[in-house]
């Protein structure tokens, strides 16, 4: 079949491009290994910085994507704050469209107040923040926002089951220059934007679920990072008129609300 000059030139360009790409792939292994090592070093520096802070506070804006049973992808937005004193004190707030939740832990007692319904739950759970995070996730099914970043061994938690690592250069989040790294595991892909300089805190954390149709994302945008003395209260008490309920009846910190129906995993 005869080709027009334009189509011939296009085919030639595509062929040259394919050959060039193959050459790049064939000779890119050392660079890829260097990028992986750099990405791991950036993550290590961030987790080392976070773990060294005895007192830590930050604000977080969250966007939780869901895929409905009819295939529509929707995002649920909320905001919150975290104040913590290692090893055993934390105060978390969550403000969203379905619930206003306050949670405190003083090393002995977990207290949760749902301001939207004026309901209050309390449980004796002596231990550390790490132990609290595990119990909230595994027993109460109430995972904390950014919990993977709060533990004493955050690097090991984040890198568990990682199969691929990439250094994607730099990006800018709210005017702050960040290093952009990406990691893959069998079930999720996740990306982190880490502030450059002497305070390598996370600026953005994006988690993509590969086991749910539509690959929904969970995005956390961090701001107001602070280290040093945390001006926070780590106890809550039920006020007059507050209804006492079981911990299981308190909404979690990323509650979807009854109007949403999440599509099941594959």
pLDDT of amino acid 132: 94
Alpha carbons 51 and 151: distance in angstroms, whole number: 7
Q: Which domains occur in the chain, in start order?
A: 33-249 (2.50.20.10)
Alpha carbons 92 and 102: distance in angstroms, whole number: 6
What would the two tokens of residue 29 be? 């292994």
Do 121 and 246 meet the contact criterion of CB atoms below 8 Å apart? yes
pLDDT of amino acid 129: 95
Mean pLDDT by 10 residues, the chain (266 residues): 38 36 41 84 97 93 88 90 94 85 94 90 94 89 86 93 96 97 96 96 96 90 83 83 85 52 53
Alpha carbons 5 and 28: distance in angstroms, whole number: 34
pLDDT of amino acid 22: 34
pLDDT of amino acid 128: 96
Instruction: Quote the distance between the C-alpha of residue 104 and its chain's center.
Output: 20
Sign of the torsion angle spanned by Cα atoms 232, 238, 240, 241? positive
Do 149 and 50 meet the contact criterion of CB atoms below 8 Å apart? yes
Token pair 């999720």: residue: 188
Alpha carbons 37 and 46: distance in angstroms, whole number: 14
pLDDT of amino acid 112: 92
Q: What is the pTM of this model?
A: 0.82
Q: What sections of 66-144 are H helices per DSSP?
A: 129-138
For residue 144, list its beta bridge partners: none
Sign of the torsion angle spanned by Cα atoms 219, 53, 136, 95? negative
């Amino acid at each position: 079949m005869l080709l027009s000059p334009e189509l011939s030139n296009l085919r030639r360009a595509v062929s040259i491009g394919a050959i060039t790409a193959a050459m790049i792939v064939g000779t890119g292994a050392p660079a890829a290994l260097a990028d992986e090592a750099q990405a791991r070093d950036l993550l290590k520096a961030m987790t080392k910085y976070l773990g060294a802070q005895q007192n830590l506070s930050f604000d977080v804006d969250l966007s939780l994507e869901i895929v409905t049973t009819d295939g529509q992808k929707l995002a649920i937005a909320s905001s919150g704050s975290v104040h913590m004193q290692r090893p055993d004190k934390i105060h978390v707030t969550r403000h969203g469209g379905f619930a206003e939740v306050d949670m405190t832990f003083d090393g002995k007692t977990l207290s949760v107040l749902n301001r939207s319904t004026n309901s209050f739950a309390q449980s004796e759970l002596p231990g550390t923040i790490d132990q609290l995070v595990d119990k909230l996730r595994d027993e109460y099914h109430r995972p904390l926002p950014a919990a993977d970043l709060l533990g004493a061994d955050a690097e090991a938690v984040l890198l568990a089951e990682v199969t691929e690592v990439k250094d994607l250069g730099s990006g800018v989040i709210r005017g702050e220059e960040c290093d952009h790294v990406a990691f893959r595991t069998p079930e999720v892909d996740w990306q982190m934007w880490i502030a450059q300089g002497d305070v390598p805190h996370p600026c953005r954390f994006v988690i993509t679920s590969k086991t749910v149709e539509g690959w929904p994302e969970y995005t956390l945008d961090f701001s107001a990072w602070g280290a040093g003395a945390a001006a926070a209260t780590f106890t809550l008490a039920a006020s007059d008129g507050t209804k006492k309920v079981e911990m299981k009846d308190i909404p979690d910190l990323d509650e979807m609300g009854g109007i949403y129906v999440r599509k099941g995993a594959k």
